[in-house]
A and B are shown apart, each in its own frame.
Chain A
């Protein structure tokens, strides 16, 4: 294909577009103002006949850039799938006729809206290039699994079953992780009445028999460099040898640690060997080998056991876990059954406050426990008094009294702490000055967590956390994704979970790792813009080494070279454009999405003169949630103000401040930015994009005051995909605001 560009426009007159709008005027605008070399109308462009019309032009007439004015870019994507050309879509259906009333008095403004969308689509098209892969990509099918517990082993088995070679790096001398010490597991099959076999031995055997799986025991990851498709990992053994291997993708399955109850003196954990954690009990049961379970202090057969639930969990107190592990009560039921089955006539009491038995097994397993005469008492344990017979003091919450019970053995339900390595974005602890004044207070203990992945990334050595040490991911849409592309988290380092959930998690992460490795081989984005070939390019001669792009990239895609210039890693990139929004000198752009493509759209909107009293409102809507919400508003017939001109953006994080200043300068009266929810419960598909945008737009007030404009003219909102009524209302609100404060003085 030659470099010559050939522009072709297509206007669909179906779905009522032809009846509501003057299509010959639209065609004229596309050719005269939009400079389309050809423009055709069709009564149903998405039909096979219409699609063929476009295909013929591409193959016979050599059209390289096509503009389709029909429905939303989110509709008919299968029909309008022309991978060999650059394409823009003018949204005349959802964006214009469906959000405007079909009445003669609105005809003029509706037509103006459509005219502008044609101008915008043509302008965008003219500044676009056809995206193609960079040619840097490499296909490496080998998957690295860090951690050889239940999750890691499952991930390895699943990946190998799909035909991908796997390496497992395990710190310990054997596979199996924590589950290797367990006697039995929570049942996963109906009738959910008895604990099941853990299956660890079978998993180890199947891994050892699998030629595709290589196991590195007593090993850790000393260094991880590169990007998806070309990770270079140093695997260090305990003896000091280092082995460098290359991988396509990585699964981190480093599991969890248990909370140490010795911090809580009331439970007497460190005062008696007969007060044990739930994990330690599993070892006692394993030692009993099917016979009666004996207590550690004197080897006496246990005749009465008390399970103290929720130890140091869901607490607001310092040094305890603010969350609940969720499965502790199921574990207690399982463990109480050990005593019912192995010890004759043993009293088993579970002291709970809120009994949680989640999952398919939950309620049935609870019932099975009751049938086996496990006593469930709702009570808050205040103290465990050590002694030959342990005294458990508790407040009975049903009978409302302080009481106590005697037990030979007390089992503490302690929570799971993710083993996820240090958070690269952890805020260093700030000691405020008042504390420093008190000289006798010792400094807070510094907790050093060893890195697990030792990433050679500019943005830190490990996966970023969300909170409480759990790795960050888009919880709703992409649970296995982390903020490091090609590295997937699975198992309890994402959230507390049981073995069954961890196995499901591992399978999911394995599938994602395979997808990442394959896509890296093709130079495509893995997610959420799966299949996207475009990637940001950096015009290095304009770069001022300000490092904003390297710092603000939510995914650690950009390193720095010795001189401080950004070093881009294409396959780590998710194509959100947050770097583009960050760059103050506008040197970062995608082939089909750049500062210029949006600027051209802004500039080509026809801004009427002041006395026309037709304001213009620029809406920059995130294409993931806000834009679909507006589309759905159209489908539901919710009205949108005719002054609005909506431009979809990849992420609000990609919004360049220059778009704001340029549009204000060219006479727009108001600007509405719509991104996803930010914060701890964020919904941003690119994790930090929306938050970054809010931060940057916080400073836009200065720009406005320097232009002598009212600050109300620019607003940033968090919009969810379900805000079908609200999203249009926000635009209409802006129209009212403009009416109140008057039109912009910057019209020409």
Chain B
């Protein structure tokens, strides 16, 4: 359990709903859900999730902190915005889902093998190195995330695609060695660091 998680558990012992209100982006909307279930019915991936938004919001009100924050549901959202368009109460459901995902990630409660959150982490790390996404390395990182052997298999399976992309000059093998970036990488890293400090301070203040 992360330190932040421990602190949050202490602070909001009785009301997970209040914790969500204070810490999750757009979290103050959760209490306005009237449990009609239109979001659940509208979600194109609805039956692939562990919990629908409707259920997730009810779990928040029922204080099921662990179950909500370690759910894979919010990671499965494809941001199609069907739920926002249809919610009769006007809840920004998609944003709440992302807010919950973000909060769960911060608290370190995300299920480790959840692929979308793995991808997000790889993407972020990749981006932070040079200030640009190195597509070759991003692809390779994804191929090899489950070990070397699986990585070779993944690469072979997509061999033809890779060759075609190189022929069409859509991919450059040389990018593997360093690759190009922005002019001032350290400047970007400083900016991000500062932003993270500000955000951390916000959570500390809340906790």
Complex partner residue of B31 from A371, A377, A378, CB under 8 angstroms: A371
User: Any chain A CB within 8 A of the CB of B166?
Assistant: no
* Chain B contacts for A377, CB-based, 8 A: 58, 61-62
User: Any chain B CB within 8 A of the CB of A370?
Assistant: yes
User: Any chain A CB within 8 A of the CB of B17?
Assistant: yes
Interface size grouping (class) on chain A: 10 to 19
Query: CA separation between A347 and B54, bound complex, in Å?
Result: 21
Instruction: Report the minimal beta-carbon distance from B57 to chain A, rounded to whole angstroms.
Output: 9
Query: CA separation between A367 and B54, bound complex, in Å?
Result: 17
Q: Closest B-chain residue to A355, C-beta based? A: B34
Instruction: Report the minimal beta-carbon distance from A192 to chain B, rounded to whole angstroms.
Output: 16
* Chain A contacts for B54, CB-based, 8 A: 398
Instruction: Known contacts A375-B17, A398-B54, A399-B55; decide if A370 and B62 are in contact (CB<8 Å).
Output: no
Instruction: Known contacts A398-B54, A398-B55, A399-B55; decide if A371 and B32 are in contact (CB<8 Å).
Output: yes
User: Any chain B CB within 8 A of the CB of A403?
Assistant: yes
User: Any chain B CB within 8 A of the CB of A373?
Assistant: yes
The 24 listed contacts between A and B (C-beta, < 8 Å) are A347-B15, A355-B34, A367-B89, A370-B31, A370-B32, A371-B31, A371-B32, A373-B17, A373-B18, A373-B31, A375-B17, A376-B34, A376-B35, A376-B61, A377-B58, A377-B61, A378-B58, A396-B58, A398-B35, A398-B54, A398-B58, A399-B58, A399-B59, A399-B64
* Chain B contacts for A367, CB-based, 8 A: 32, 89
Query: CA separation between A585 and B55, bound complex, in Å?
Result: 72
* Chain A contacts for B14, CB-based, 8 A: 347
* Chain B contacts for A399, CB-based, 8 A: 55, 58-59, 62, 64
Query: CA separation between A698 and B55, bound complex, in Å?
Result: 58
Please name the 3 residue pairs, one residue from A and one from B, whose CB atoms are nearest each other, closest first: A398-B58, A370-B32, A370-B31
Q: Closest A-chain residue to B51, C-beta based? A: A399
Instruction: Report the minimal beta-carbon distance from B73 to chain A, rounded to whole angstroms.
Output: 13
* Chain A contacts for B35, CB-based, 8 A: 376, 378, 398
User: Any chain B CB within 8 A of the CB of A643?
Assistant: no
> A403 touching B62 by the CB < 8 A rule?
yes
As a 0/1 sequence over residues 350 to 388 of chain A, the CB contacts with chain B under 8 angstroms (1 = contact) are: 000001000000000011001101011110000000000
Q: Closest A-chain residue to B15, C-beta based? A: A347
In chain B, residues 9-63, which have Cβ atoms closer than 8 Å to a Cβ of chain A?
A: 14-15, 17-18, 31-32, 34-35, 54-55, 58-59, 61-62
In chain B, residues 50-97, which have Cβ atoms closer than 8 Å to a Cβ of chain A?
A: 54-55, 58-59, 61-62, 64, 89
Instruction: Report the minimal beta-carbon distance from B70 to chain A, rounded to whole angstroms.
Output: 16
Query: CA separation between A403 and B14, bound complex, in Å?
Result: 16
Instruction: Report the minimal beta-carbon distance from A583 to chain B, rounded to whole angstroms.
Output: 59
Instruction: Report the minimal beta-carbon distance from A739 to chain B, rounded to whole angstroms.
Output: 55
Instruction: Report the minimal beta-carbon distance from A75 to chain B, rounded to whole angstroms.
Output: 47
Query: CA separation between A366 and B61, bound complex, in Å?
Result: 16
Query: CA separation between A347 and B32, bound complex, in Å?
Result: 16
Instruction: Report the minimal beta-carbon distance from B19 to chain A, rounded to whole angstroms.
Output: 13
Query: CA separation between A396 and B14, bound complex, in Å?
Result: 19
* Chain A contacts for B62, CB-based, 8 A: 377, 396, 399, 403
Query: CA separation between A375 and B17, bound complex, in Å?
Result: 10
In chain A, residues 391-409, which have Cβ atoms closer than 8 Å to a Cβ of chain B?
A: 396, 398-399, 403
* Chain B contacts for A366, CB-based, 8 A: 34
Query: CA separation between A373 and B89, bound complex, in Å?
Result: 16
Query: CA separation between A217 and B119, bound complex, in Å?
Result: 79
> B34 touching A375 by the CB < 8 A rule?
no
Q: Closest B-chain residue to A352, C-beta based? A: B35
* Chain A contacts for B32, CB-based, 8 A: 367, 370-371
Q: Closest B-chain residue to A401, C-beta based? A: B62
Query: CA separation between A367 and B61, bound complex, in Å?
Result: 16
